[in-house]
Amino acid sequence: MSTSVQPKILSREQLKQRVAEWRRGGARVTLANGCFDLLHVGHVRYLHAARELGGKLVVAVNSDDSVRGLKGAGRPLMPAEERAEILAALADVDAVVIFPEHDVRAIIREIRPDFQAKGTDYTAESVPERDGGRVAIVGDPKDHSATEIIRTRLTPRST
């Protein structure tokens, strides 16, 4: 079976093997990451811009426990497996991995991406994992937020 039709949702070990295959073929690797709790246009634009850096795009998705630790009670809205499946369905995404840590330092060490793509809510200096290689700030201005969508559109308002 060719790499292009193999499943996109990978374990950490499978991801390391896939990245090694891509590199043997001369491909560069870009890593993007996030909770992706409620996929919105800002996420799509971020991932598309990350893909435009060239090569293969790996998306690391925070596990359910990790999202709860970062976002608080009541999150995530969808389980990690479903968030990963939605991301894997996007044409710009080549591989998806779920990770339990609060940041992607371990994955950066494991796959050594050529680029680490972060959204415009960061600067190159504010990226927590910036010591892991070349950081690229990509996507449109941070005008979209799952947390804000949940707060303003999905939370019942008292009348």
More confident residue, 111 or 140: 111
What pLDDT shows up at residue 144? Answer: 58
User: What percent of the chain has pLDDT above 90?
Assistant: 61
pLDDT tens per residue across span 53-109: 989 999 999 999 999 998 888 899 999 999 999 999 999 999 999 999 988 999 999
Residue 28 has pLDDT above 70, yes or no: yes
What whole-number distance in Å separates Cα of residue 52 and Cα of residue 124?
18
* Residue in the block written with tokens 């939605």: 86
Residue 132 has pLDDT above 70, yes or no: no
Burial label for 150, CB within 10 Å (0-12, 13-18, 19+), is middle
Residue 46 has pLDDT above 60, yes or no: yes
Confidence of residue 2 (pLDDT cuts 50, 70, 90): very low
Residue 47 has pLDDT above 90, yes or no: yes
What are the beta bridge partners of residue 117?
A: 32, 136
E strands along the chain, which residues? 9-10, 29-34, 56-62, 95-99, 115-118, 135-137
What whole-number distance in Å separates Cα of residue 128 and Cα of residue 41?
24
What are the beta bridge partners of residue 96?
A: 9, 59
**Joined tokens for residue 63:** 């596990």
Residue 141 has pLDDT above 70, yes or no: no
User: What percent of the chain has pLDDT above 70?
Assistant: 81
More confident residue, 145 or 101: 101
What pLDDT shows up at residue 38? Answer: 86
Q: Does an H or E element contain 49, and which?
A: helix 41-51
43 contacts: CB under 8 Å, gap ≥ 6: 34, 36, 144
- The strand pair at 95-99 and 115-118 is best described as unpaired
